[in-house]
Every structure is written in C-alpha cells, then in structure tokens.
Structure 1
Amino acid sequence: MCGICCVISFSIQHTIGDFFKEDLLCSLRRRGPNCSQQLIKTESDLSYQCLFSGHVLHLRGLTTPQPLEDTNNNVFLWNGEVFNGIHVGTTENDTKIMFHHLTSCNNESDILSLFSSVQGPWSFMYYQASTHSLWFGRDYFGRRSLLWQFNNGLEKALCLSSVSALSGSDNQWQEVPVSGIFRIDLKACAATKSLTLILYPWKYRFQENATEETLKDGLDQISKDLPTYISLAMSEPKFCLVAPVTPLNRTIPEIKTECHCTNFYSDSVSVENLQRFLAEDHKKKLVHQLIDVLSEAVKRRVLCLFRGTDQLKRENHSVSARKAHVAVLFSGGIDSMLIAVLTDRHIPLEEPIDLLNVAFMSKECTKSKGASKKHENQKNQLELLACQEHFKELDIETSNSLSCFSVPDRITGRAGLKELEMINPSRTWNFVEINVTLEELKRMRQQHISHLVYPLDTVLDDSIGCAVWFASRGEGFITNQGDLKPYKSSAKVVLTGIGADEQLAGYSRHRVCFKKYGLEGLIKELGMELSRISSRNLGRDDRIIGDHGKEARFPFLDEDVVSFLNSLPISEKANLALPRGIGEKFLLRLAAKELGLTASTVLPKRAMQFGSRIAKMENSHEKASDKCSRLQSVAGD
C-alpha cells in the first residue's frame, strides 16, 4: 500500500511545488507512513515538468522507497500487490519487480501485456523518458484509488493522486475510470499547449479464436465527465489490455431448477436445510470448487506480508504478547465469517486474528426518549431482541441487557466469534468492540473522513465511509480473562467481504429485480454490479482504510474467484425463489456449512450502515441516494 502522486505542469514560469498542497502531502503520508520522498523531472527544452511523490507502507520484501528511478531517467510509482501472474519471490518486493519488467518493455504492446498479466489490485504512474510518455491507471476492478484533477489556467497542470487535497479548489477531483490505462504524450502536449489522453481499453479474449469484445465504458461515457478542454482518444484496435477474468455466464436454464424444491423449503430457514442441499453430488462438487479457489485467494492475501520481526521473536514471546498481522472487517455475517475461517487455515496458529466490529451509539442513549420516538425505539429494540433470539444458544449473556452499543452487528459478531472459537479453540481471536459516539463521529468526519469519501457525496457514501473508517482504525476493547480492556489493532492488512453480494445476488435489490424481471433481469443486474463496483465502493474504501496506514484486501474480487463465479450459470450461485437467509448467496452459504459454520450460514443480508446503526443516526429523513449535506463542505471549500 502506498500514497502516490504525480503533478505535471506545462508552464515553466510556475514552480511545480505551487500545485502540490501541504494537506495533500499529509494525506499521502498517512497512507504510507514508513517512507516518503519526492522527485522532480524538468524538461525545460520541451516546457514541461513533473513532480513525483511516493509514500510507502512496508508490507513485502525489503522496504523500497518510491518513486523509483533508473539510469535512463524512467520513474515509477506503484500502489499495488502482485498476487499472481508475475513471479514475486517470498523475500522480494513487487514494486522493484514491476519496475524491472516495465523498463524492459520495448513498445506499447509489451507494457500492455505486462499489465494484462498482473493479478492483484493496483494503481500506478510510469514516466517513460525515451518517449516522454506518462502511463497511469487502475486495475480492472479499481481496487486501488486513483484521482485526477485538471487545471486549465495559464499554468495548465494535471494532478494524479491516491487521495484528494483537503483545501478547496475550483477544479474538482474525479476518480480515474477503470476502462483501461491511459498515456499522455508530454512532448506533444507541451508543443500544442493542450492535453490529450490516450485510452488503452480492457477487452475480453475468447480462447477458441481471436475475436475480442470491447469492455467497460466507451469514449463517450468517459469524455462527458472530463472538462471540455481535455481531449480523449482511443488507442489503435491492436493495442489493448486483456481482461483478467472470464465473461459472465448469461445462460438461462431451460428448466427452472431453482423452483423444484421451493415448496419444500419455503417455510423453513435452517442449517438442516442447507445440509440437505449438500447431499446432492453436483452441488457438493461446486461447493468444494468454490472453497478451493476462495481459500487460495485468502492465502495469497494473508501470506504476502512481511512477518520478520514476529518470526525472529516467536521463540521468546508469550502468546498474549504476539501481534496480529491480519484483521477482518467483521459483522458475524456469512461473508466475514467465511473469510475468517479461511484466514485461520493459512496463518501461523500462534498469530492472533483481529475481528473488527463497529457499533454506533443508539439515539436513545444520546437524547431523552420523547413520545414521538417511542415507536421507533420499540422497533429498534424488537429487532435487537429478535437477533438475540436467533442466537440464544450461542450468546446467552447478551440477551440479558441492551447497552448503547448492542447493535445488530455487535450481537451477530459475538455469536460469530463463538462459532469461530468452536472451529478452532487454539487460535487467539481478538474480537475488537469499536464503539463510536455521535460526538466522535462528527469530529472525525470533519477532520478526516469527508475528504476521503470525496468525490463521492451521497448519504450512503457517508454512512459506509464513516463505518469503515472507524472499523479499520481498530481502536476499541477486547475481552481478556473476563475483563474488557483497551486495544488497538496492529494489523496492517484488513480483509473485507466486498464483492460477494455483487456476484452472488446478496442485496435486496436483486430479489426485487428477480421478482420483476426473472433470471434474465437478474443476470443483467449482476453484470452491471461488477462494472460499477470501482465507482460505487472500491476507490472510496481504499482511501478510507489506507488513511490508517493499512491495506484493504478483497478475497472475493480475486481474479480466479471472479472467473470461477462468472463461469457458473446464475441458478448455481443464487436461488431467489428460496427465502432470505438461504436463497441469496446460496452457493456461499453451502460452502460455509461445509466448512463447519452453523447459525451464521442462514443469517439474512444486513447492510453495514444498518447493522452498525450509523444509518439515520443524525437525520432520520434522509434517503441513501440523497446528496449528503455533511459531505458538501469538502467540494465547496
């Protein structure tokens, strides 16, 4: 994980440092606290100059300061992880490996082939001195944030950065589209005093022939979001990136297999019913295929991590003194439970796993209960009690009282902890209770969170952004020998379940779509989900989690996992003719049951903003899609 930034100016009359704000530097340093440095390249004869700023969070191999520069004046900034596709040894640093490959590229095709091979999240900037070109972009899913900002004044400048500046500007930041990677011919732009972006798009390549299908948004979609003075051109058809995943299977079964057992199971959501499905050989085979590919994805993400200090001291430290290197954003729901179980498979047994569970103080604890709030408070308590009833055998103590932070995700999280302890009682599971008051929420939103969410601006972005920021910070309490003690997670890697709902029809809107438009409409909706996940979720969450000097990793968006799920017909992945708690993410629930999970396998989907109780904490009349007034000040400063 790194904070990377490049500022390009086509005016030698101005010092390039004028465009590089101090608050932007501070935000970048928060992402990369282990090493920071800058480099300025000036081509006075061609009237352009570039500032490169790199800030490194050390995770793999030897600490490698950025930006990297070679003897030919090529410069590289890398915010990514190579998990597969290109060999990186266990003691090697992937930034150095990528730079070595890049500087060995002889032409455009070589560069495109390199980035087509990389499996893992990335954003990058590469200055190729011999051609006066700046290459930049994000991976196919957009798992790493990259923003751009254009200035059309006399100074004419472009800024690319992992995060935006806090200070106001007339030139708004936007997320760099994930339609492909971009190149700027700096020499040509300096000569014409205009800026042209060349897009190299992602395309599918089918195995049986050379036919290719252009992916993502076309030129028109990208151009309409750019300032009018920026030109956008498509590369020659032969120059493209090969998509790292297989296309979505859009076939619809002739026989609606999803209905053959509906009547039998419709009135019963139970673990026993999941077990009956597992009795089918075909289902069991698919389940094991999913477990294998997802387990490998988790393995890559928990082992590609420097553990040198702990390994040297392992002999001398007690279990309680050992630090966690990996944390899971944890609600006790099916996604986070499955990630936790698979993480337990692969990291050393003596290493703790942090389970980060966030809760926001309920309204009734922040103000006196008025008559107008009576119905709402009763409704909230009934939901909590119903949640506790579901887990009465696992979490008896929480049913005795409702504290200000006993939100649904806290209850299911505690229950999930007990399931994990039963699966592996030898592991130290640090269940971190992160409690957030309204006062702290407002303060941290103003100081940090708002500008990290930006340029997104809805109520939903605010709710999820705040919840993820506090959760990934990892400051809370753990229970140690019966006592609640302060705890701060030391984990640099934070695993999240993003991508499961989008691929396996986990959202309520998927069930609505299925009822209205059937399987064909559902397939179309799922196809759209992954295509927009970069702009809806991933850039925002990368900025949010990276602000703590931690790295977000997304096992469900591993290229092999997505390819496997894309290869299956929709009827194998989800069965929305079945009730909530079984039908959505059906294949995932079967996998969880096969791995030994119990009550959590039939928990209905509950969005983080509702489970943590941040939704409508401050304004009960807001809709998720509304512009959030609490975020508007960032764009307007």
Structure 2
Amino acid sequence: MCGICCSVSFSVEHFSKDLKEDLLYNLNRRGPSSTKQLLKSDVSYQCLFSGHVLHLRGVLTAQPVEDERGNVFLWNGEVFSGIKVEAEENDTQVMFNYLSSCKTESDILSLFSEVQGPWSFIYYQACSHHLWFGRDFFGRRSLLWHFSNLGKSFCLSSVGAQTSGVAKQWQEVPASGIFRIDLKSPSISKCVVLKLYPWKCVSRENVMKECVNSLTQISADLPMFVSVVANEAELYLKEPVVPLNMTLPQAPLEIHCRNIASVPPARETLQVFLTDGHMKEVVQQFIDVLSIAVKRRVLCLPRDENLTPSEVLKTGERKANVAVLFSGGIDSMIIATLADHHVPLDEPIDLLNVAFMTKEKTMLTGFNKKRKKQKNYCELPSEESSKNAAAGDHGKQFSVPDRITGRAGLKELHAVNPSRIWNFVEINVSLEELQEFRRTRICQLVQPLDTVLDDSIGCAVWFASRGTGWLVTQDEVKSYQSSAKVVLTGIGADEQLAGYSRHRVRFQTHGLEGLNKEIEMELGRISSRNLGRDDRVIGDHGKEARFPFLDENVVSFLNSLPVWEKANLTLPRGIGEKLILRLAAVELGLTTSAVLPKRAMQFGSRIAKMEKNNEKASDKCERLQVISLENLSIEKEIKT
C-alpha cells in the first residue's frame, strides 16, 4: 500500500516545488514507512512526483523510483501472480525493471495485462515525454484526478484533499484501462488529451463500440478542455478474467429436496446438495481456488521470524499481522477460516467487529423478536446467553446484530481451530465519535462519492479497520489496538453470488437471464461503487485492504460456472443466495454461520439507525459535504 501522487503544470506561473499541505498529510497517512519527492521539468511542463510507502514486501523501496534514463515510477499495488516476484524482492522494483525494458506501447500493455493483483500506477517516460497511469481491472486501488486552471495543471493522487470547499473537484480515474498523456501537447493545443488503452475481452465482439461508449461516458464527467480519445493503434489490455457464463438451463431446475423451500434454513439442508457428486466437486474446486487467493494475501508481508519463544514471552504475545473485517456472516467466516489455514499457527488473527451505539431502548429485543417470527429464522445466541458482554459501561448499547453474530462466529472458529489465538476486537462507536471523525477525516476520504450509503459504509469500514477497541476474553477486558497492516475483506462475494436483495427481485421479475445481467452489471461497476472508496478509507490508517473474492482466478472460476451452480433463488434466504459459498462453509466445518441470511453492514452494525432514519441509500448525504481548510489543524491533532 502506498500513497502516490503526480502534480503536473503546463505553465511557468503554476510550477511548484511542493504539494499542498493537506494533500501531503493525507498521502503520508497511507504510507508512513517512507516519503520522497522528485521533480522533473521541461520547458513546457513540470511534474512533481510524491511517494509515500507502507512497507509490506521485500526490501523497503522508497518511491518514486527513477532509472538512469530519467524514467520515473510510482506504484501502489501488489503482484500476487502473473509476474514472478521472489519472496525477498520488492514488487515496485520488479515492475519498474520490466517497465524500463519496454520499448513499445504494446510492451507496456502486455506487462500490465499479465499482472494479477490490485494496482494503480503512474509512470513517466522521459524520452517520449509521456505520462502513463491507471488502475487494475476491478479498481481495487484508488486513483483520483483533478483538472484545474483551464487546462494549465492537473493532479493524480491516491487520495484527494479539500482545497477550497468546492465539491467534485476530485474524481476517480475510471478503471476502464490505462491512460496516456503527451505532456508537451497541452502547451501548444491549450487542451489536455488523454489517450485510452481499454481492457478487451479477446472473445468478445463489438470491442470498438464498447470503447466508444466508454470514452463518451468518461468525457461527460470531465471539464470541456479535457478530452479522452482512443489510441490510434487500437491497442488494448487483455482482461484478466474470463467472460461471465450467461448459459441458461435447457430444462427447469430440479430442487434436491421437494420440501426444501418450506423449512427453516439449516446446515443439514445444505448437506443434501453435497450428495450430488458434481456439485461436491465444484464446491471443492471453489474452496481450492479461494484458499490459494487467501494464502497469497496473508503470506505476502513481513513477519518477525527472528523472535525466539523466550523473547515472545518477554515482549508479550506475538502480534497479529492479519486482520479480518468480521461480522460473523458467511463471507467473513469463510475468509477467517481460510486465513487460519495459512497464517502461522503461533500468530494471532484479529477479527475486527464494529458496532455503533444504539439508542437508550436498544433495538436488540425487537431484532430478536422480529427474527423469530420469520419462517427462515436461524437461531442466534441471545444477549443474555453470551458470556462475553460488550466491553465498557454501556455494553448493552453496542449489542447490535453484527456483534451477536460476530460472537457466535468466534465460537465456531474456536471449534474449528482451538489452538489459534483469535482476537475478537469489539470496536464501539458513539454518536459523538462518529460525527467528529466523519467531519475531520472520513468525509474527505469517501469523496468524490457522496450518497447516504457511501457515508454509512465508509464510516463503518474506517472505524473497523482502525482496529481500536476492546479485547474481551473469559478472564479480562482490556483495550486493544490492532497492529495488523493487512485487512482482509469479503467484498465481491455478494456481487458475484447474488447476495443482495436486488438480485432476488431481478430473478423474480426476469428469471435467470435477468439475474445473469444483474451480476454482470454488479461486477462492471464495483470499481466506481465500492473499491476506490474502501481503499482510501482503509489506507488512511496505514493499512492495506486485500480482497480474496476479487482475486482474478477466483472471479474467473465463478464466471465460468452457470448461475444456478452459484445461487438458487428459488430457495429461501439463508440458503439460496450465495449457495456455493454456503456449501463451502459446510465442507470447511462451519455450522450456524453457513445459513445466516445476508445482512448489509450498515444495518448489522446499526450505523444506519444512529442519525436520520428516513433517508434512502441513494440520497445525497449532507453529512459528507466538503469542509474547509480550517479543519486541517484539527485533523492533525487526531490520534489514530
């Protein structure tokens, strides 16, 4: 994880030797291990590069990196596959070595087509005066652009800054491909021309039509003096995943158990599906590919292997290097279980569970009563039966649904591997704390997204990934700060496996064909809807978000399956949605969590109930309005 930035000026009066203070501050929070700046000038332009590194791999490599020919590289990514990176190597240097040897545009595109893993980058080619930049296919790393002064300057950055109180200054660079700009041309033409090298599915027709549509959409959101055009050679990046299987069944689907739709979801119900030899094989293949994805994400980081057991005893228990955003739901349970397979056994895993304070009369009782009335009710431990009451004097006010399922999930994980130290971190957020940190930190990280949903998810993820809370055991309750630099999240599971209620609505109205189109749409918009925001929010703590469900091999495997092998929405909630994931949970030895219905984070954590209850998720959120620079001094006083 890094904070990368390039500020470009095309007129002498806008040349600068430093970035604005608030932008530097935001970048530094993302990359606390190393900070460096580099200036490249020409008679017609100036580029100020700024790199801020969070060291996770190989030898600490300060950025930006420069070679003997004056080429400059900024990299915010992880190479998990496709390009060989040895355990002791740093992928920034490996990528730059390859880039420096590229002789043509095709060479550069071939390189980035091979990389598997999340990335955003900025690359300056000195001899051609070209600046290349872009994000990976899913947009798992944030990159923003900001054009100003009528084409006289622009800026690329992992995170924005609130420079003048005007909203929408920063926009996300679309994950549509890689962009290139000729830095010499704006001084002559007085306009900025961005050339796009789009992602292309080799087997898909009408690529040119799709590219034209993409150009039109991108240009619509940019100032008049900025244009986006297709590259003349019609070169493309190769999409890293196979196309979605849109096959429809030739005959009506059979339900394994005729009465399955009328019984409450139970683990035994799922086991019926596993009596089918083909389904059992598909589920095992899914477990295998997802397990490899998790393995790559928990082993690609430095560990203190030099501590002897006696030194560990002197310094206390070994610290966690990996954390999971943990609700106890099916997604986070699967991720935690597979992480347990690969993280060294003597190393704890942090389970980050966030709860927002409920009102005086907590919603808990009503929540349980409502759930018990539902046909699809799945038994959950009550507040009274939980031995681990929430930490602090106001524990009952934080007994939200995700806290309850989280504690139940913790018991399951203990049963799966009692030898592992599972740090269940109870992160309790009051209304006052939420409002303070939203105003001083979170609102500018969520921007340029601005809906009520972005506010709820952005705030919940920010507090959860910060990892400041209470560690509750049978013996004691103590304050705890997670030291894990890697945060695993289950995003991508719902989008691919029909986990949202809108998938069920689409299926009911348009059948499997409509469901396929909904899943295709979800994956197509995940970069702009979720991932840039989550990367900025988690990265603000000097931590790196990693997304196992969006591993290229995982997505390709799921894309290759017909939709009915991934989900069966003729079945009730808690079974039908994410069916293949629930079957995997059974195979991995999980119990209650395998049949928990989907519950959105904003409702499970109860953040959606803290302030205005009459808002729609798609409404513009007034709480995310841009603040002025006078808050900069306040935010610098905040202790993370």
TM range (shorter): over 0.9
In the alignment, which residue of structure 2 is the partner of 1:295?
291
Judge which range, 451-460 or 220-229, deviates more: 220-229
Q: Secondary structure at the match of 2:351?
A: strand
In the alignment, which residue of structure 1 is the partner of 2:274?
278
Q: Which amino acid aligns with 2:508?
A: K
Judge which range, 181-190 or 527-536, deviates more: 181-190
Pair 590,227 (structure 1): closer, same or farther in 2 beyond 3 Å: same
Contact 2:294–2:339 (CA under 8 A) maintained in structure 1: yes
Judge which range, 232-241 or 606-615, deviates more: 232-241
In the alignment, which residue of structure 1 is the partner of 2:323?
327
In the alignment, which residue of structure 2 is the partner of 1:317?
312
Judge which range, 351-360 or 160-169, deviates more: 160-169
Q: CA deviation at 1:314?
A: 5.1
Contact 1:476–1:487 (CA under 8 A) maintained in structure 2: yes
In the alignment, which residue of structure 2 is the partner of 1:556?
549
Pair 212,292 (structure 1): closer, same or farther in 2 beyond 3 Å: farther
Output the CA distance in 2 between the equivalents of 1:334 and 1:630: 31
Contact 2:264–2:378 (CA under 8 A) maintained in structure 1: no
Return the match for 2:116 from 116, 119, 135: 119
In the alignment, which residue of structure 2 is the partner of 1:52?
49
Deviations 1:65-90 (A, max 9, x none): 00001110000000000000000000
In the alignment, which residue of structure 1 is the partner of 2:568?
575
Pair 61,74 (structure 1): closer, same or farther in 2 beyond 3 Å: same
User: How do residues 163-312 of structure 1 correspond to structure 2 at under 5 angstroms?
Assistant: 163-168=159-164, 170=166, 172-206=169-203, 218-236=214-232, 238-257=234-253, 259=255, 261=257, 263-307=259-303, 309-312=304-307
In the alignment, which residue of structure 2 is the partner of 1:33?
32
User: How do residues 195-594 of structure 1 correspond to structure 2 at under 5 angstroms?
Assistant: 195-206=192-203, 218-236=214-232, 238-257=234-253, 259=255, 261=257, 263-307=259-303, 309-313=304-308, 316-318=311-313, 320-364=316-360, 379-380=366-367, 382-383=369-370, 390-392=379-381, 396-397=385-386, 403-594=396-587
Q: CA deviation at 1:192?
A: 2.0
Output the CA distance in 2 between the equivalents of 1:635 and 1:526: 39
Pair 269,57 (structure 1): closer, same or farther in 2 beyond 3 Å: same
Q: Which amino acid aligns with 1:346?
A: H
Q: CA deviation at 1:363?
A: 1.7
Output the CA distance in 1 between the equivalents of 2:263 and 2:359: 35
Deviations 1:43-85 (A, max 9, x none): 02xx100000000000000110000011100000000000000
In the alignment, which residue of structure 2 is the partner of 1:150?
147
Q: Which amino acid aligns with 1:12?
A: V
Q: CA deviation at 1:399?
A: 10
Contact 2:383–2:389 (CA under 8 A) maintained in structure 1: no
Q: Which amino acid aligns with 1:55?
A: H
Q: Secondary structure at the match of 2:542?
A: coil
Contact 1:120–1:558 (CA under 8 A) maintained in structure 2: yes
Give the TM-score normalised by structure 1: 0.93
Q: CA deviation at 1:394?
A: 12
Q: Which amino acid aligns with 1:588?
A: L
Deviations 1:93-150 (A, max 9, x none): 0000000000000000000000000000000000000110000000000000000000
Judge which range, 261-270 or 54-63, deviates more: 261-270
Gaps of 5+ in 2: 631-640
In the alignment, which residue of structure 2 is the partner of 1:598?
591
Contact 1:265–1:273 (CA under 8 A) maintained in structure 2: no
Q: Which amino acid aligns with 1:11?
A: S
Output the CA distance in 2 between the equivalents of 1:400 and 1:64: 45
Pair 420,346 (structure 1): closer, same or farther in 2 beyond 3 Å: same
Pair 398,404 (structure 1): closer, same or farther in 2 beyond 3 Å: farther
Q: Secondary structure at the match of 2:13?
A: coil
Contact 2:165–2:627 (CA under 8 A) maintained in structure 1: no
Q: CA deviation at 1:226?
A: 1.1
Identity of aligned residues (%): 64
Contact 1:124–1:138 (CA under 8 A) maintained in structure 2: yes
Q: CA deviation at 1:620?
A: 1.2
Output the CA distance in 2 between the equivalents of 1:400 and 1:42: 61
Q: Secondary structure at the match of 2:607?
A: coil
Q: Secondary structure at the match of 1:131?
A: coil
Output the CA distance in 2 between the equivalents of 1:592 and 1:195: 51
Contact 2:257–2:272 (CA under 8 A) maintained in structure 1: no
In the alignment, which residue of structure 2 is the partner of 1:373?
none
Q: Secondary structure at the match of 1:85?
A: coil
Q: Which amino acid aligns with 1:291?
A: I
In the alignment, which residue of structure 1 is the partner of 2:62?
65
Contact 1:468–1:545 (CA under 8 A) maintained in structure 2: yes
Pair 527,636 (structure 1): closer, same or farther in 2 beyond 3 Å: farther
Q: CA deviation at 1:393?
A: 9.6
Contact 1:144–1:538 (CA under 8 A) maintained in structure 2: yes
Output the CA distance in 1 between the equivalents of 2:210 and 2:555: 16
Q: CA deviation at 1:260?
A: 5.7
In the alignment, which residue of structure 2 is the partner of 1:75?
72
Judge which range, 541-550 or 163-172, deviates more: 163-172
Deviations 1:331-357 (A, max 9, x none): 000000000000000011000000000
Output the CA distance in 2 between the equivalents of 1:386 and 1:395: 20
Q: Which amino acid aligns with 1:7?
A: S
Output the CA distance in 2 between the equivalents of 1:398 and 1:635: 46
Output the CA distance in 2 between the equivalents of 1:442 and 1:76: 38
Q: Secondary structure at the match of 2:244?
A: coil
Q: CA deviation at 1:11?
A: 0.5
Output the CA distance in 2 between the equivalents of 1:278 and 1:583: 14
Deviations 1:265-320 (A, max 9, x none): 4323110011111111011000000000000000000001111x344445621395
How many residues get paired? 621
Q: Which amino acid aligns with 2:535?
A: D
Q: CA deviation at 1:395?
A: 8.8
Contact 1:54–1:77 (CA under 8 A) maintained in structure 2: yes
Output the CA distance in 2 between the equivalents of 1:568 and 1:130: 46
Output the CA distance in 2 between the equivalents of 1:16 and 1:262: 71
Pair 512,130 (structure 1): closer, same or farther in 2 beyond 3 Å: same
Contact 2:488–2:548 (CA under 8 A) maintained in structure 1: yes
Q: Which amino acid aligns with 1:166?
A: Q
User: How do residues 120-139 of structure 1 correspond to structure 2 at under 5 angstroms?
Assistant: 120-139=117-136
Q: Which amino acid aligns with 1:100?
A: N
Q: Secondary structure at the match of 1:432?
A: strand
Q: Secondary structure at the match of 2:291?
A: helix
Deviations 1:177-230 (A, max 9, x none): 011010001122232222100000000113xx9996876752111111111111
Give the TM-score normalised by structure 2: 0.93
Output the CA distance in 1 between the equivalents of 2:286 and 2:53: 34
Q: CA deviation at 1:231?
A: 1.4
Output the CA distance in 1 between the equivalents of 2:256 and 2:312: 57
Q: Which amino acid aligns with 2:22?
A: D
Pair 296,311 (structure 1): closer, same or farther in 2 beyond 3 Å: farther
Gaps of 5+ in 1: 370-375
Q: CA deviation at 1:14?
A: 2.8
